[in-house]
Structure 1
Amino acid sequence: MYMLRCSDGTYYVGSTRNLERRLEEHSLGVVPSYTSTRRPVELVFAEEYDRIDDAYAREKQVQGWSRRKREALIRGEFGQLPGLSSRARDKR
């Protein structure tokens, strides 16, 4: 699972079996996708998984997160992640 910061400041979350190749594809804009019109892109976070289905599940999880929660993940502030969930905010 990986996260890119796009030129417009948005984040793209994806998963792949070959991160180096996929980053090149994003950088060149060869695959029509969210990032192809938001280049250049910068890799800001990556996690490795033994199984692609685990990476895909994590991708879907992070895609559902708020910008603040994604940025906490990027900064490595793992202890803040539960408090940034919508359920935690609703309880306040």
Structure 2
Amino acid sequence: MDGRHVVYVLECTDGSLYTGYTTDLERRVAEHNAGEGAKYTRGRTPVEVRYHERYETRSAAMSREYEIKQLTRAQKERLVGL
């Protein structure tokens, strides 16, 4: 498994959690911190990776991203270990 498809959870500076998908986690986090990532994370920087999972296929990663986004805040906190 090469695991090039990554689902990640970021903690924003305001304490909120953001879930996303990428094929290059380091680049994507740098984009978020530069204000070039998702609209949600702009103004909530710096962000910090709290959790990530790797998948072989984009579809598997996107399905998991959707699952995580459906979790409650408490469930996400348990997942990421907060």
- Normalising by the smaller structure, the TM-score range is 0.7 to 0.9
Asked if 1:46 corresponds to 2:52, the answer is yes
- 8 Å Cα contact 2:35-2:45 kept in structure 1: yes
TM-score, reference length from structure 2: 0.86
In the alignment, the residues of structure 2 paired with residue 57 and residue 32 of structure 1 have an alpha-carbon distance, to the nearest angstrom, of 19
Runs of 4+ in 1 over 2 A off after TM superposition: none
Contact 1:13/1:59, CA 8 A, preserved across alignment: yes
Distance in 2 (CA, whole Å) between partners of 1:17 and 1:32 is 15
TM-score normalised per structure 1: 0.77
Larger Rg: 1
Q: Which has the higher helix share?
A: 1
Structure number with the bigger relative contact order (C-alpha 8 A, sep ≥ 6) is 2
In 2, distance between residues paired with 1:31 and 1:10? 15
Opposite residue 56 of structure 1, the aligned amino acid is M
Q: Which runs of 5+ in 1 are unaligned?
A: 76-92
2:35 maps to: 29
Q: Deviations over 1:17-69 (max 9, x none)?
A: 11111011001112351001211111000000011111111011100101110
More strand by share: 2
Work out which of the residue numbers 31, 40, 55 in structure 1 matches 2:61: 55
- 1:19 alignment partner in structure 2: 25
Identity within the alignment, %: 39
Query: What number of residue pairs does the alignment pair up?
Result: 76
Unpaired runs of 5+ residues, structure 2, are 1-6
Q: CA RMSD in A?
A: 1.4
